[in-house]
Amino acid sequence: MKLLRNLRACFVASTSAVLGYIALPLLLSLALSSHAASAKIGIVVFDGVLTSDITAPIEVFGAASKKAWFADYEVVVISATREKTITTEEGLTLIADRTIYDAPQLDVLLLASAYDMDPWLQNEPLIAFIKRQAQSSQWLASNCSGAFLLAKAGLLDGKRATTWAGGEKKLAKAYPAINVQYDQNVVIDKGVVTSNGGPVSYQAAFALLARLSSEKYASEIAESIQFNRLKAAFLQ
């Protein structure tokens, strides 16, 4: 009987150890998944896109997502076609995370620009994707002529908005329902951020980050990527 009790005790101990080895990774996996990003910032890209229109927000929001206060956000690069590999106007090759055909529902939708926007303004699946995302996104944003995509989707009607510096008249003529703002780097109105694009894309990204978090946190990221030094240089 004593031997039987010892064998039973050994069996229980061994079983508990095995279960522990199985359960521990599972518990760790569940713990990590519970901290996975739940909010998504989608940046739409396509061949000929202007590099700084997309790299600026990727840097700003990517740096912020590494902070505990912004860890719920994930930056997702989304191709406007079924091809994930795109080449920017300046020759940078990028591989998108998703396409507009398999993209998740986004919390923030950001549209970049190209020198020739006509193919994208006439791209019905892209415009349909923008309209669909706008139904539940918290924020919409555009850099440079990306504003024309928002306008084409009817999402700027009755709002203040801007586009590239010098392109305001073209936007106003094409879409008279928009209250086009002139000589303004960034315009924010009713959940929509529009900007001149180019280097101003950084300013727009920080303005949006401040509204997704706080001015304090946006300043923290500006300091961490040394954007504040750039601003100081212009003020000298």
Query: What is the DSSP track for 176-206?
Result: TTSEEPSS-SEEEETTEEEE--TTHHHHHHH
Residues 53-78: what's their mean pLDDT?
A: 98
Mean pLDDT across the chain: 88
If asked whether residues 25 and 119 sit together in one domain, one would say: no
Residue 167 sits in the same domain as residue 74: yes
**Structural domains counted in the chain:** 2
Q: Report yes or no: 93 and 45 within 8 Å, Cβ to Cβ.
A: no
**Other CB atoms within 10 Å distance of the CB of residue 34:** 8
Q: Are residues 111 and 196 in the same domain?
A: yes
Checking if the pLDDT of 69 tops 80, the result is yes
Asked whether residue 44 falls in the same domain as residue 26, the answer is no
Q: Residue holding tokens 């095995």?
A: 18
If asked whether residues 95 and 146 sit together in one domain, one would say yes
pLDDT at 13 exceeding the cut of 90: no
Residue 10 predicted with pLDDT over 70: no
Residues 26 and 55 in one domain: no
**Does residue 58 sit in the same domain as residue 129?**
yes
Give the residue-averaged pLDDT of 141-170: 98
**102 and 15 co-located in one domain:** no
Q: Please report, for residues 32, 41, 79, 187, 233, the alpha-carbon distance to residue 68 in angstroms, rounded to integers and kept in the order given.
A: 14, 17, 28, 28, 30
- Give the strand pairing for 186-189 and 192-195: antiparallel
Interval 46-50 mean pLDDT:
98
Share of the chain above pLDDT 90, in %: 80
For 149, phi then psi, to 5°, come to -70, -45
Facing residues of 180 across strands? 161
Rounded Cα gap, residues 164 and 147, in angstroms? 9
Same domain, 13 and 58: no
pLDDT for 233: 52
Instruction: From residue 64, give the alpha-carbon distance in Å to each of 13, 49, 142.
Output: 46, 24, 19
Domain match, 84 and 107 both: yes
Question: What distance, in Å, lies between the first and last C-alpha atoms of the chain?
Answer: 90
Give the model's pLDDT for residue 79: 98
- Can you give the residue range of the structural domain that contains 85? 37-235
Query: What region, left, alpha or beta, does residue 190 occupy, with left being phi > 0 and alpha being psi -120 to 50 degrees?
Result: left
- Find out whether 151 and 182 touch, Cβ atoms under 8 Å: no
Same domain, 179 and 68: yes
CATH number at residue 217: 3.40.50.880
**166-188 residue pLDDT tens:** 999 999 999 999 999 999 999 99
Q: Identify how many contiguous H helices and E strands the chain contains and give both numbers.
A: 9, 11
Structure token pair of residue 67 = 């902070």
Q: What average pLDDT does range 82-87 have in this prediction?
A: 98
Structure tokens at 101: 């055909």
- Whether residue 124 sits in one domain with residue 31: no
Share of the chain above pLDDT 70, in %: 82
Kindly state the tokens that stand for 34.
Answer: 């519970």
